[in-house]
Amino acid sequence: MVAPATLRVVRCGGSTLHGARAVFSADSYLLCAAGDFVKMYSVATEETLRVMGGHADLVTGVQLNPHNHMQLYSSSLDGSIKLWDFMDGIPIKTFTVGSKLLALYALASSEDSVFVVIPKSGERDTFQLVSVKLAKAAGQDLEAKELSVVLDGVDASPKRIAFGREGEYVASVKEVNLQVFFFKRKQLNRFSVSAIKTKSGNNHFTCIACHPTEDCIATGHADGKIRLWRNFYHKKDYTFSTLHWHHDTVMDLAFSMEGTSLLSGGVESVLVLWHNESDCQKDFLPRLGSAIEYISMSSDGALCCTLHTDNRITIINSNLRFSKSIQGLIKSTDVKTGLVVDPRTKALVLNGEPGHLQFYCLQSDQQLFSLDIVQRQYIHQAGLNQADLVKVAFSAQGKWLATVEEREEVTDPELQLKLWFYDEETQSFKLNTRINMPHEDHITDMCFREMDELEDDSLILVTAGRDCVFKVWVMVEDTDPEAQQSVSWSCDFVGSYHNYQATNCCFSEDGSLLAVSFEETVTVWDSVTWDLKCTFCHPPGKIRNICFGRLTCSKYLIGATDYGFLCCWNLLSCALEWSAHLNVLVLQPDPLSEHIAAVSWLSKESSLFVFKPNEPRPIYIQRNLCKEKIQLAAFVPRDEPETIGSEKYHWLRRSQLFFLTDTQELMTLSTKSLEERLTPSSKQLAVEESLPVTPFSLLLGKHRRQQSQEDIDLGKLVHNKHKQDSPAVKELLHTPAHVLPSASFLCPIFINSLLISKENKSAEEVADEVEMESEKTEDDSDEERGVTEMEQEDTSPMELLGEMTCKLSKSQEKELRKIRKMDYSWISAF
Amino acid sequence: MATYKPVVVQAFPKLGERITKDTAYWRGYKTPVQIKEFGAINKIDFSPVPPYNYAVTASSRIHIYGRYSQEPIKTFSRFKDAAYCATYRDDGNLLVAGSEEGSIHLFDVSGRAPLRQFDGHTKPVHVVGFLSDKYRVFSGGDDYSSNLWDIASATEIVSYSEHTDYVRCGCASKVNADVFLTGSYDHTVKLFDARTKSSVMTIEHGQPVESVLLFPSGGLLVSAGGRYVKVWDVLKGGQLLVSLKNHHKTVTCLCLNSSGQRLLSGSLDRHVKIYSTTSYKVVHSFNYATSILSLALSPEDETIVVGMTNGVLSVKHKKPEERKEKSQKKRQPAYRTYVKGRTYMPKQEDFCVSKPVKRVLRKYDKLLKSFQSSKALDAVLEPPIRLYTPEVTVAVMQELHRRGTLRSALAGRDEKQINLLLTFVARRVIEPRFTPVLVTVADMITDIYQPVVGQSAIVDRQFLRLQEAIGKEIDYQEELLEVLGMMDTLFATFTEKRATYLEENKSNGLTETIETNMNN
């Protein structure tokens, strides 16, 4: 039954959110480009409501259809523009343009065309703004070949082109030049600022925004200045005024809806609100977490949102109050901690905001919480060395967390080792011990002795440092009964080997042996007496990774070297068991089985090898896992073992392999086919899920449950069709109460719908009839499309009829529809 | 959105003595009052009734001092030779004392002439005392005998000659009027019952017994002799409970505090040690100028009086309880306004609206929040912060360095401010916890103000002081490294059997600190 599925690489979070400005829809949803997808968030609940996939490459532009605000245009690097019905998540049309699309603009004034930025054919690094005519032909996939060039020599960034009020002109900036093109007069004005290089940077243009009602253009510059241009109809008599607060590049600008105030943001992660375009009146919203990449305003001006460089969206009230933040996997500049799995929550733990540790839930693609490790104010300024988290380790039960933070400094690095204890009461980690300068140089690796026993005194932490030693830390009980905490950590043993730098450390599964690699040599130590037991070496090449085998393979030690060798040593015979020529970047043992995953980097592609240490032949090979370099990998235990048909993928049964690439994309391997994964989101319609839980529906649910139980009791007299909702009930539940006709009118229909119909039409007949009906309603809805939202929502349950057989007679159906028609007219009167 | 995080001031573990409740309690005495007596003080005894006068026996006199008096309020000086062991009766009316010539004198505290004289001992009497029925007196003399006297008739009731050396200490039981015990230089403590003709119990201390003490319950006995203090269980037939060896010279006197929770011992090694009577661990100790012969604690532990061999009486009074008068001076809102609404208990159906707590930032934090580096540095160079919490100053300097604005904060200062900065740096740069930061600061200051050297005599002098401090520290570190080298060779010889590369390090933080300092 199960087809021989192939493993697919599936993206599961962390894709860049800042491909384009986010867009507020009219009914408080936020639409945002996220990698190859367009994501729809609810502003009220911060939840991801829908992920619209279909583009084959990065989405570069998201714009609402100016003529129908229930529709959305999106452009992508794959050269296509898609028109979406974002409420249902259905692509309506796809226009293929052909060349890469770098930005998308849709204007209310231009009837059937949109503007895109495409690379100029034949020339590298020059781009032009073209208008694309979107044909109104029938069919899903259309060609859009009618291109007309509007502006030449524009910048590729979507922030550097803006359309003026009512689409009268378009302004574009590049380097030190500003050009404004007036559509009506076909006039092109060019202005430029004289290039100045100062200490803080040059005065190149970085972004542009146009005033919504007046003829005014605001431009941001790399040196932190904002210029407001006026009177640019004249080539000579133009004027500009300067606003200066930012000390670094202005990343984005946005006017409020009335144009009375201007929002600007930059690297400082401060949102500045300039009132009346004057330099003296401004408000700030500081400490937003990371540099602001895009600012966008909702159409009613009530909300504004900022997209940050670390993949976070902040929603801000109109009075400049922080409202909400939508955050998935936070992208930090460099994941130094590696991928660690929290044994308690099974969340993925890695660097988050600077100085924080993020706990990321894989199932819900949400950040569970962010633990402040460094506990210092982070200054958003380029070129500052600030303390950051570099190493993280959890004890086996997740009771203890060890973190290392360091501040890069030329003379002597600042190092701190912190040990955190999980407090059951507050459900969070509490700082227990802080050790200043645990090593004299950078800490290269850190691990806990993983013992599943409950006693605490067996807990040992080992840190390996570049100062040529490894240190063993143990818990000491405080004898003073009046002390605040009963245990603290202190150093127990310092080991070294021939003054080589210690690079990796790792405990065997039973905790009896500690392997520490010193450059080219792996040393094995007894964890009770701290005696050196034996050494292994595979010259030439320094050891990159080491790990012990598990379960049946616990007598093996695996090591990967710089020179592209994977070696397996037998700990009993102290001899090399086998070795393979493989440039291994990542070596990751599965905590629940013997399998070890090795990711190699060969000729510009990453490949995955899964093997058991006791045999040199890999169990599974996947070449060309992805084009990017894979930085880190982690096995995450599954909640329940998955049934996997093929013997080949048996290693994925108990845990799932996740890996993080250079570009901070989190990926996993899945055996399920694409359809299986997509079913819940793409086909089902919105109404079904968002069925509100009212007391009435609860009552109804109870009633239904009783009924179904009765059905079971009665034997198989009644078909299970009855369990499905009748359309009348659905209708009743989905129509807002204030538009429903009087209860006495609805009651008989409702009662009827609950009755079990006696006539037993043949299923086929019913289905046919209903299908006809539904087609009709679809036609209806096509005509009515775009009038109000409510209608759309209301038609959808009727579409559902196709799937279900109802027990209503045809006349009853008609009656119902009449009611609906009636109350629609009633609405439209308003 | 994150709020501003204040500067973290690192707390460093305090080295040395840990402050416990006991140290706090026993430190709560004023500086001692010294009173010079004529000879070695062999006994101090507090009157058990208010106003708690105390009798001091020294040379041939007995002085009675009031609680706060520097001069004796009464003197008994009818002794031809040395007087010994003046002791109050339980009601504080009578005083008994032994003497060098062998007679025992009984005084009325209000009178001057002796009421009674008990003769019978042939050698000096070093110990006398009342039994708890108040009508009898026991005594021990250098003629090896322990006698019991009747006060009314001034006759000897019974004489025990069981000791084989001088009897030098003794004590009566508080629960039984017939029981008393004496300790002798024959290394024994003997327990006598006046109803029997011989001793009831003999305890072998092991050294000449200098002092004995019975617990108020009568169940435990403490003996001191040689360097040992030993605790015995009398009810179990004289079983040794614990032997304490905390002094390094002979222990001469013992004393219990008023609650019976603490045992005090004075010794010739000039120390008074205080033990907990539950754990028998030393919880505190005092030291004095010379060897201690006698020790007494007034009821309620109000006064500690210690007598020494050179005749100096040291009197320590307890400090009065600190009143919170300061806080009363500051005008506070009326109590009613203060408690308004605070006592209201929300009902279950109430909807609570909580006001966000306003965080109060320190001045330097406020300035740092608004990126005013120079002003923040000025704020932490204010006298109270600079003098009492230098760690705050250093933490702010570190924070400024982290922000890359330390140089601009240090620059542009006038003579007075540079003087201040350099004084601070020169004084604190040698403290290991501040060294890394202050070395950077000193480096920057010399860099910035190099051009103006020679213009101001004050600044030049500070620079010289800084140089001197650093020079001294380098010498010191070199010496320490030498010691470390010596220790390493010692360790190497100890761990000879092990492989040579194994370095056992009992890392107590010392070596690490030294090495980090050397990097600077």
- Contact partners, residue A36, CB within 8 Å, separation at least 6: A11, A15, A53, A55, A56, A57, A58, A59, A76
- Give me Rg for the CA atoms of chain B: 33
> Is A497 in Cβ contact with B501 (below 8 Å)?
yes
Residue in A61, A47, A53 with CA at minimum distance from that of residue A97 = A61
Question: How far apart (Å, rounded) are the C-alpha atoms in residues B482 and B480?
Answer: 5
Interface check for A377 against chain B (CB to CB < 8 A): the answer is yes
* pLDDT the model gives residue A672: 67
Q: In angstroms, rounded to a whole number, what is the distance separating the alpha carbons of residues B517 and A435?
A: 17
Give residue A208's pLDDT: 93
Backbone φ and ψ for A164, nearest 5 degrees, come out as -80, -175
Alpha-carbon gap, residue B54 to B316, rounded angstroms = 13
CB B170 within 8 A of CB B212: yes
- The nearest CA of chain A is from the CA of B474 a distance in Å of 19
A494: chain B residues, CB-CB within 8 Å: 503, 505, 507
CA distance A105 to A116: 6
Q: Can you tell me the ipTM of this complex?
A: 0.73
H helix runs in A238-336, sequence order: none
- Interchain contact A483–B (C-beta under 8 A): no
Q: Does a cis peptide bond (omega within 30 degrees of 0) precede residue A212?
A: no
Dihedral angle over CA of A675, A678, A682, A683, nearest 10? 50
Given a contact cutoff of 8 angstroms between Cβ atoms, the answer to whether A165 and A212 are in contact is yes
CB contact under 8 A, A384 and B403: yes
Alpha carbon dihedral A530, A533, A538, A544, in 10-degree steps, equals -20
| Architecture of the domain whose range is B26-317 | 7 Propeller (2.130)
Q: Does B368 touch chain A (CB under 8 A)?
A: yes
**Domain residue extents for chain B:** 26-317, 363-474
Least Cα distance to B181 among B218, B134, B143, B133 occurs for B218
The fold adopted by the segment(s) A157-328 is Methylamine Dehydrogenase; Chain H (2.130.10)
Cβ-count burial B491-505 (b if 16+ within 10 Å, e if not): eeeeeeeeeeeeeeb
Q: At what angle do helices B457-494 and B435-449 cross, to 10 degrees?
A: 150
pLDDT at residue A761 in the model: 47
* Spatial contact of A495 and A525, defined as CB atoms under 8 Å apart: yes
Q: Do the strands A201-202 and B179-184 form a parallel or antiparallel pair, or are they unpaired?
A: unpaired
Q: Are A60 and A81 in contact (CB under 8 A)?
A: no
Nearest CA to A472 among B503, B516, B15?
B503
CA-based nearest distance B402→chain A, Å: 7
Could you tell me if A383 lies within 8 Å of chain B, comparing CB atoms? yes
Contact list in B for residue A376 (CB cut-off 8 A) is: 5, 7-8, 399, 402
Closest in B10, B499, B519 to A532, CB measured? B499
Count of C-beta atoms within a 10 Å radius of residue A264: 26
The pLDDT of residue A696: 67
For residue A462, CA distances in Å to A449, A489, A502 come to: 8, 12, 11
A387 and B402 in contact by Cβ < 8 A? yes
What is the per-residue pLDDT across A784-817, written as a single tens digit (0 to 9) for each? 444 444 444 444 444 444 444 445 667 777 777 7
Residue B520 is predicted with a pLDDT of 40
B175-203 CB burial, b ≥16 within 10 A, e <16: eebbbbbbbbbbbbbbbbebeeeebebeb
Residues of A in contact with B504 (CB under 8 A): 493
Q: Are B41 and B316 in contact (CB under 8 A)?
A: no
Q: Which two tokens stand for residue A438?
A: 């645990």
Picking from A372, A480, A490, the nearest residue to B18 by CB comes out as: A480
Residue stretches of chain A with pLDDT short of 70: 1-6, 13-18, 198-201, 410-412, 452-457, 479-485, 644-645, 672-728, 731-732, 757-809, 818-830
Report pLDDT for A277: 77
Alpha helices in A462-535 (DSSP H): none
The one-letter code for the residue type at B397 is: M
Spell out which residues of chain B touch residue A285, defining contact as CB-CB under 8 Å. 1
Backbone angles phi, psi at B90, to 5 degrees: -60, -30
Distance from chain centroid for Cα B146? 37
Angle between helices A727-734 and A695-713 (to 10 degrees): 160
DSSP of A329-391, one letter per residue? Answer: SPPPS---S--EE-TTT--EEEE-STTEEEEEETTTTEEEEEEESS-SPPP--TT----EEEE
Instruction: Report yes or no: A448 and A393 within 8 Å, Cβ to Cβ.
Output: yes
Distance (Å, whole) CA B316 – CA B313: 10
Instruction: Classify B520 as helix, strand or coil.
Output: coil
Instruction: Determine how many CB atoms are found less than 10 A away from the CB of residue A570.
Output: 17
Distance from CA of B37 to the nearest CA of A (A): 43
SS3 category, A567: strand
Q: How many CB atoms lie within 10 A of CB A302?
A: 14
Mind telling me how many Å the CA of B498 is from chain A's nearest CA? Answer: 9
Those residues whose C-beta lies under 8 Å from the C-beta of residue A771, and which sit 6 or more positions away, are A802
- B387 class by beta-carbon count within 10 Å (0-12 exposed, 13-18 middle, 19+ buried): exposed
Q: Do B368 and A377 count as a contact with CB atoms less than 8 A apart?
A: yes
Please report residues of A whose CB lies closer than 8 A to that of B399: 376
DSSP lists the bridge partners of residue B275 as: B263, B282
- The long-range contacts involving A95-101, CB below 8 angstroms and separated by at least 24 positions, are A95/A132, A95/A134, A95/A135, A95/A142, A95/A143, A95/A144, A96/A141, A96/A142, A96/A143, A96/A144, A97/A132, A97/A144, A97/A145, A97/A147, A98/A145, A101/A60, A101/A61, A101/A75, A101/A76, A101/A77
Q: Are B372 and B406 in contact (CB under 8 A)?
A: no
CB pairs under 8 A between A and B: 69
Q: Are A140 and A95 in contact (CB under 8 A)?
A: no
Distance of CA A190 to the CA centre of its chain: 40
Q: Which residues contact A136 (CB under 8 A, 6 or more apart)?
A: A112
A412 touching chain B per CB within 8 A: yes
DSSP string, A346-360: --EEEE-STTEEEEE
SS (H, E, C) B107-139: EECCCCCEEEEECCCCCCEEEEEECCCCCEEEE
What pLDDT was estimated at residue B518? 43
Residue-range domain boundaries for chain A: 9-153, 157-328
A248-305: per-residue pLDDT in tens?
Answer: 889 999 998 888 899 999 888 899 999 887 878 888 998 888 889 999 998 888 889 9
Closest by CA to B184, choosing from B143, B132, B214, B229, is: B143
Which residue, among B364, B402, B400, has the nearest Cα to B380 in the 3D structure?
Answer: B364
Digit-by-digit pLDDT tens for chain B (520 residues) are 578 888 888 877 776 666 778 888 888 888 889 999 888 899 999 998 888 899 999 888 899 998 888 888 989 888 888 999 999 998 889 999 999 988 999 999 888 888 889 988 999 999 999 998 889 999 999 999 999 999 999 899 999 999 999 999 999 998 888 999 999 999 999 999 989 888 899 999 999 999 999 998 888 999 999 999 999 998 888 899 999 999 999 999 999 988 888 999 999 999 999 999 888 888 889 989 999 999 999 888 889 999 999 999 999 998 887 655 555 556 666 777 777 777 778 788 888 887 777 888 899 999 999 889 999 999 999 988 889 889 999 999 989 988 889 999 999 888 899 999 999 999 998 888 888 889 999 999 999 998 888 888 989 999 999 999 999 999 999 999 999 999 999 988 876 554 444 444 444 444 444 444 444 4
* Cα–Cα–Cα angle for A278, A283, A287, rounded to 5 degrees: 135
Q: Are B251 and B223 in contact, with CB atoms under 8 Å apart?
A: no
For the packed helices B435-449 and B510-519, what is the interaxial angle rounded to 10 degrees? Answer: 10
What per-residue confidence (pLDDT) applies to A410? 66
The set of residues, in sequence order, having a beta carbon less than 8 Å from that of B16 and lying 6+ positions away, is none
Q: Which residue's structure tokens are 């059997």?
A: B497
Q: Which of A655, A636, A590 is nearest to A346 (CA)?
A: A636
Pairing mode, strands A141-143 and A90-96: parallel
Nearest to residue A30, comparing CAs of A329, A266, A302? A302
**CATH class (in words) of the domain with range A9-153:** mainly beta
Of A440, A493, A495, the CB nearest to B515: A440
HEC per residue, A32-84: EEECCEEEEEECCCCCEEEEEECCCCCEEEEEEECCEEEEEEEEECCCEEEEE
CB of B83 within 8 A of CB of B114?
no
Report yes or no: B479 at the A interface, CB cutoff 8 Å. Answer: no
User: How many Å lie between the alpha carbon of B36 and the closest alpha carbon of chain A?
Assistant: 42
Q: Which residues on neighbouring strands pair with residue A221, listed in sequence order?
A: A205
Q: Do domains A9-153 and A157-328 have the same CATH topology?
A: yes
Residue with tokens 């690490």: B512
Contact call for A384 and B402, based on CB within 8 A: yes
Scanning every residue of chain B, which has its alpha carbon at the shortest distance from the alpha carbon of A383? B404
In the block, tokens 């006791």 appear at A614
Q: Quick one: pLDDT at residue A199? A: 64
Which of B6, B501, B507 is the closest to A491 by Cβ? B507
d(Cα B52, Cα B46) in Å, to the nearest integer? 6
- B502 touching A, CB under 8 A? yes
